[in-house]
Chain A
């Protein structure tokens, strides 16, 4: 199942208004590392259904979002909880790292 893509408006609503516990991958279509990481999240989101939201931001379509978090590269996975930015993972991360991070910052 593919990840739900966020734009500036839906990002605002889900992260800050609804205060969802979630992760957001910042990615771009031409990035080969992203192509490795996105499928990992797509598979993983089934395990976390109803507990953790999995979202996608395209940095070319929503430049201001990546600027807001002063990101200097993709892919990066940002973790949010209670309407606040918690942590991030950069580069070619595998399933285990994502699972560990979720346990550490979202489910603790």
Chain B
């Protein structure tokens, strides 16, 4: 068990994680990216990216190499490993990996992306590599002159389907929707409709992959009529969407929707303090390289400020030689501003036995939560980090002084 401490640990090395690493490294945070497999994540599967600003056209893996190089240049560290469990209950977050490492970090960014969804139909798993496939670039050539079925109608399904037509005799696309409706972008849809090798089966889903040792056909179910038909083919490519790879984090108590996406606010903060979720792991509208990168930047900056606050609080409050009056106030609330002045005066008139530290509850919700402060103004009295009492609220200076003596 190696015990290693970082400021910021980023789980996942796709565009969101790598961007977070660039910002983390540049902010001089000790930053580690834990990534299984090749850095770049699912972007590596994209042959051509034409909508990342500044790059007219680039392959996914080349773009990710540039991201990685950039993160390296700012001093981010990388480990090829897989996170198997986490403990986010304490201020120091603990991360355990498959290679038996235990890391701790002040802040964690969850950026582990998503994986292809399986339909879990009979034959799908058994015939993988024997006709069932998930990657056209990898496997299309094995189907030279053969009949192939593609399941799904999103960007990936249609674009990969068209790539397969370069090799296959015919590509039949199984589409859930009514005739003419595809989930992919319009340009790809038009191209697909014009492609002579592409055929479409509408209102349908796949029920079973047939074949003994190799794929020999598929069973297609029409959702409108409920009728099943068999279609002979030698290959089936599944592109039925992605699911977030957030299973290892489920036990941590982090808030997640039922599909495994993590809801966050504008700062990419999850409902756990110091834990952020970005890119394909969060609930969001657009899932592109550019938006993933934006998430990574936001989360890293939010994490940096959070860590700064932790450090500042630790030196000025928890390690203070003097007793501390921790004053929770709200800058928008006049009463709490007046009380703040009064408290300072009372302290001065007693020749300053206390150090007064003001906490704006509007921006430092974490602290308010930590000390269970629900109303402002409130004062918690600390001696070397330990709470010794709370002051009763009063706008009479003498009553305050009495409590401070």
Interface residues of A (CB under 8 A from B): 28, 30-36, 39, 66, 70-76, 88, 90-91, 95
Contact = CB atoms under 8 A, between A and B. Distances in A.
Given A28-B138, A90-B130, 20 more contacts: A31-B135, A32-B44, A32-B45, A32-B137, A32-B138, A33-B134, A34-B138, A35-B37, A36-B36, A39-B80, A71-B129, A72-B129, A72-B133, A72-B235, A73-B128, A73-B131, A73-B133, A90-B128, A90-B129, A91-B134
A79 to B, nearest CB: 13
Contacts of A31: 135, 137-139
Interface string B60-88: 01000000000000000000100000000
Most buried by B among A30, A32, A35, A71: A32
B142 A91 contact: no
Interface string B210-242: 000011000000000000000000110000000
A61 to B, nearest CB: 13
14 contacts: A31-B135, A32-B61, A32-B135, A32-B138, A33-B134, A35-B38, A36-B37, A39-B38, A39-B80, A73-B132, A73-B142, A74-B138, A74-B139, A76-B129
B142 A71 contact: yes
Nearest to A96: B98
Given A31-B137, A34-B138, A39-B80, A73 B129 contact: yes
Contacts of A74: 138-139
B95 to A, nearest CB: 19
A30 B138 contact: yes
Contact of A72 (B36, B80, B135, B215): B215
A73 B37 contact: no
B313 interface: no
Contacts of B61: 32
Nearest to A27: B138
A76 B135 CA distance: 13
A31 B133 CA distance: 12
B101 to A, nearest CB: 15
Give the most central of B138, B142, B143: most A CB within 10 Å: B138
Contact of B44 (A35, A66, A71, A88): A35
Interface residues of B, number: 25
A48 to B, nearest CB: 17
Nearest to A30: B137
A88 B128 CA distance: 11
Contacts of A32: 38, 44-45, 61, 135, 137-138
A72 B131 contact: yes
A34 B61 CA distance: 14
A66 B142 CA distance: 9
Given A32-B44, A32-B137, A72 B130 contact: yes
Nearest to A66: B142
Contacts of B214: 70, 72
Contacts of B134: 33, 91
Given A72-B129, A76-B129, A33 B135 contact: yes
Contacts of B45: 32
A88 B137 contact: no
A23 B388 CA distance: 66
A32 B38 CA distance: 8
A95 B215 CA distance: 27
A101 to B, nearest CB: 13
Contact of A73 (B36, B80, B98, B139): B139
B129 to A, nearest CB: 2
B61 to A, nearest CB: 7
A74 to B, nearest CB: 5
Contact of A88 (B36, B37, B129): B129
A108 to B, nearest CB: 22
Closest 9 CB pairs of A and B: A90-B129, A36-B37, A31-B138, A73-B139, A32-B44, A90-B128, A35-B38, A73-B129, A72-B142
A90 B131 CA distance: 11
Contacts of B235: 72
- Interface core residue of B129, B131, B234 (most chain A CB under 10 Å): B129
Nearest to B234: A72
Contacts of B44: 32, 35
